[in-house]
Amino acid sequence: MTSPDALRRPLERLYREFDYDSRVDLDALRFPVRYADPRDREVVALLTACLAYGRVDLFGRSLEGALAAMGPSPAAFVGAFDPHRDGARFRDFRYRFNRPRDLVAFCVAAREVLARHGSLEKCFVAGDADASGPLRPALDRFARAFLEADLREVFPRGRPSRGYRHLFPRPSAGGPCKRLLLFLRWMVRREPPDFGLWTCVSPARLVIPVDTHVENMSRAIGLTRRRSRTWRMAEDITRRLAAIDPADPVKYDFALCHKRMSGDCRDRRDRVVCAPCGLRSVCRHWRGRG
Ligand code: SF4
């Protein structure tokens, strides 16, 4: 594993010098960023993150249709949502495991959560028994608020569809929960490209959302030795990043992810691609080669 002292300078440089503007339009962030009102941005960010499995251009096409159906204020749409009146607006929605009724259920559950708590942040905080402790129990309760909402209007037999359950993974099941952690990063981190809308949660508590790109980069630069992408891997990587910046450990996530996604890293030694890379000194593909 690479020491925090060795990682600090290359990672700080990557974070500082990364061209965020050129990548935001290629990131799932591009959907919530369109909405100026924080209430709309919060709802759109959650829906976007829930659907953010697979490539952005693939789920993005389906999400565009869903957002168009929700009109100019998705928060107002959800707040007044009537599945019998409004559900048909999603009739053309299809994305891998998800079907129109999953979006109808999302709107019913979000309506219930917003009616009870007033905002998604307040819902999260209501389940956050220890505001200085680990994030995992609070995130689990947040997912449960959606999974255990009264969805009989959508699922009369009382059992939500597999597609709906897939939208809200629970950390207690051990998976990496990349999509919900991505949503939290957007809401909580105060620095761009994130939104910093949730002032009640400290960025120091965030856990990194690990997808295949972050997993590859983390192994390459010695942030983890774990082989399977799990919640424990996410904690492992976060713990090492916190040794560099305890106040904001997941600030490196966007740049690490996009460096690999953009092809600026091929996860192998490549004289041309690796030449300008500031991570070479800590990269296992260059160990012993200077
Ligand atoms: S040195 Fe090459 S393989 Fe290693 S992180 Fe940089 S671009 Fe990727």
pLDDT the model gives residue 245 = 98
Q: Ligand 1 atom 2: the closest Cα is on which residue?
A: 274
173 C-alpha vs ligand 1 centroid, how far in Å?
33
pLDDT the model gives residue 115 = 98
Which of 18, 257, 262, 265 best tests ligand 1's pocket when mutated (most atoms within 8 Å of CB)? 265
Other CB atoms within a 10 A radius of the CB of residue 289 amount to: 9
185 C-alpha vs ligand 1 centroid, how far in Å?
25
**What percentage of the chain's residues is helix, strand, coil (to nearest 5)?**
60, 0, 40
Can you say whether the dihedral through the CA atoms of 242, 224, 15, 174 is positive or negative?
A: negative
67 C-alpha vs ligand 1 centroid, how far in Å?
37
- Ramachandran angles phi, psi of 98, nearest 5°: -105, 145
Q: Which residue type sits at 43?
A: V
Ligand 1 atom nearest the C-alpha of 221 is 5
Residues 59, 53: contact at Cβ < 8 Å?
A: yes
For 57-115, write each residue's pLDDT tens digit: 999 999 999 999 999 999 999 999 999 999 999 999 999 999 999 999 999 999 999 99
For 141-183, write each residue's pLDDT tens digit: 999 999 999 999 999 998 999 999 999 999 999 999 999 999 9
The more confidently predicted of residues 170 and 287 is 170
Residues 11, 4: contact at Cβ < 8 Å?
A: no
Ligand 1 atom nearest the C-alpha of 279 is 6
pLDDT band at residue 284 using 50, 70 and 90 as cut-offs: very high
User: How is residue 245 annotated by DSSP?
Assistant: -
**How many whole angstroms separate alpha carbon 155 and alpha carbon 150?**
9
Considering the chain, what percentage of its residues have pLDDT values greater than 70? 99
Residues 252, 263: contact at Cβ < 8 Å?
A: no
Q: What does the angle CA 82 – CA 61 – CA 95 come to, to the nearest 5 degrees? A: 65
pLDDT the model gives residue 285 = 96
Residue written as token pair 């129109």: 100
pLDDT at 29 over 60: yes
9 C-alpha vs ligand 1 centroid, how far in Å?
15
- Taking each helix axis as running N to C, give the angle between helix 38-51 and helix 178-188, from 0 to 180 degrees, rounded to the nearest 10: 160
Q: Ligand 1 atom 1: the closest Cα is on which residue?
A: 280
Ligand 1 atom nearest the C-alpha of 260 is 8
Residues with CB under 6 A from ligand 1: 220, 265, 267, 273-274, 277, 279-280, 283, 285-286
Which of 18, 274, 286 best tests ligand 1's pocket when mutated (most atoms within 8 Å of CB)? 274
pLDDT the model gives residue 75 = 98
pTM of this prediction exceeds 0.75 = yes
For 229-241, write each residue's pLDDT tens digit: 999 999 999 999 9
For 256-281, write each residue's pLDDT tens digit: 999 999 999 999 999 999 999 999 99
pLDDT at 290 over 60: no
Buried b (16+ CB within 10 A) or exposed e, 174-195: eebbbbbbbbbbbbbbeeebbb
96 C-alpha vs ligand 1 centroid, how far in Å?
32
Can you say whether the dihedral through the CA atoms of 201, 207, 212, 214 is positive or negative?
A: positive
